[in-house]
């Protein structure tokens, strides 16, 4: 027996948290009966439906997407703003983004309907590197960026050590380009880290997620990942 929200997440319908929201909203049925109690346990042979769709009807899919700036990293937005799933009108599966990428940031993001895959990548123990390139105000120096290599405190929690490289510095414009590699995924983490050491971010782009890069892609491009590619991050 497994908890209902865990089964829904592993089936790829949504993340664990979103699965709990679906249950509480009365959108889940078990053997034809609506279930709203979190923690309900189900057996392998139970018939589970979400919005009337049996869990085993939807194949698992995985996509790499070059998110443009000005797009929300979500499957929907109550303010009517453009979201990443708007770029996948031909995809019938209920995909959603893995992790965050700020509204005004661009770059690589993964989308899937595989809840187990999404949860595994978000777990700190995976330590999957994410590489960002940031345009910052001020002339970056190794000395001022050095604390990020050991970790700094943000909201009372210390960040994991980051890898830092200065790609360029423009004395006339008083700005620079910094590459930062981290494996955490806190809200606005890269911006907050750089701001904390005196370099507010003007532009931010994620260029790499684990083994995946933006090579050969333009803003707004997408492509499906093969099973072999997915297994590089999440063995089946």
Q: Measure the CA–CA gap between 44 and 92, rounded to whole angstroms.
A: 25
In a domain, 236, yes or no: no
Contact 152, 159 (CB under 8 A): yes
Burial of 43 (C-beta count, 10 Å sphere; 0-12/13-18/19+): exposed
Residues 40 and 106 occupy one common structural domain:
no
Q: Are residues 197 and 158 in the same domain?
A: yes
pLDDT at 181: 97
- Whether 225 contacts 213, CB under 8 Å: no
What is the pTM assigned to this prediction? 0.77
Catalytic residue among 45, 56, 86, 102: 102
Q: What is the pLDDT of residue 58?
A: 67
Classify residue 163: in a domain, yes or no: yes
Same domain, residue pair 109 and 221: yes
Per the structure, the count of domains in the chain is 3
Tell me phi and psi for residue 208, to 5 degrees: -150, 145
| Residue 102 among the catalytic residues | yes
Same domain, 197 and 136: yes
CATH number at residue 77: 3.30.70.580
Tell me, what's the pLDDT at 14? Answer: 81
User: Mean pLDDT in runs of 10 for the chain (236 residues)?
Assistant: 81 82 94 93 84 79 96 90 95 86 96 82 82 97 97 95 96 96 92 97 96 95 92 74
Task: Give the CATH number, domain containing residue 52.
Answer: 3.10.290.10
């Amino acid at each position: 027996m497994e908890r209902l929200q865990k089964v829904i997440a592993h089936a790829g319908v949504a993340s664990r948290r979103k699965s709990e929201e679906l249950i509480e909203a009365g959108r889940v049925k078990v053997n034809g009966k609506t279930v709203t109690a979190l923690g309900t346990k189900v057996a392998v042979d139970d018939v589970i439906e979400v919005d009337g769709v049996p869990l085993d009807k939807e194949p698992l899919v995985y996509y790499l997407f070059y998110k443009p700036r000005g797009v929300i990293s979500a499957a929907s937005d109550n303010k009517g703003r453009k979201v990443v799933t708007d770029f996948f009108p031909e995809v019938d599966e209920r995909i959603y983004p893995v992790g965050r990428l700020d509204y005004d940031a661009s770059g690589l993001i993964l989308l899937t309907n595989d809840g187990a895959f999404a949860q595994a990548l978000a777990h700190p123990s995976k330590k999957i590197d994410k590489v960002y390139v940031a345009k910052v105000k001020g002339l970056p120096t190794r000395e001022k960026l050095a604390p990020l290599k050991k970790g700094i405190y943000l909201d009372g929690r210390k960040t994991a050590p980051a890898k830092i490289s200065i790609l360029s510095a423009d004395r006339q414009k008083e700005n620079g380009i910094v590459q930062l590699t981290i494996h955490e995924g806190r809200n606005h983490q890269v911006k907050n880290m750089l701001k904390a050491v005196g370099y507010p971010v003007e532009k931010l782009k994620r260029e790499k997620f684990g083994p995946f890069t933006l090579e050969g892609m333009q803003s707004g491009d997408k492509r499906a990942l093969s099973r072999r590619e997915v297994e590089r991050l999440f063995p089946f």
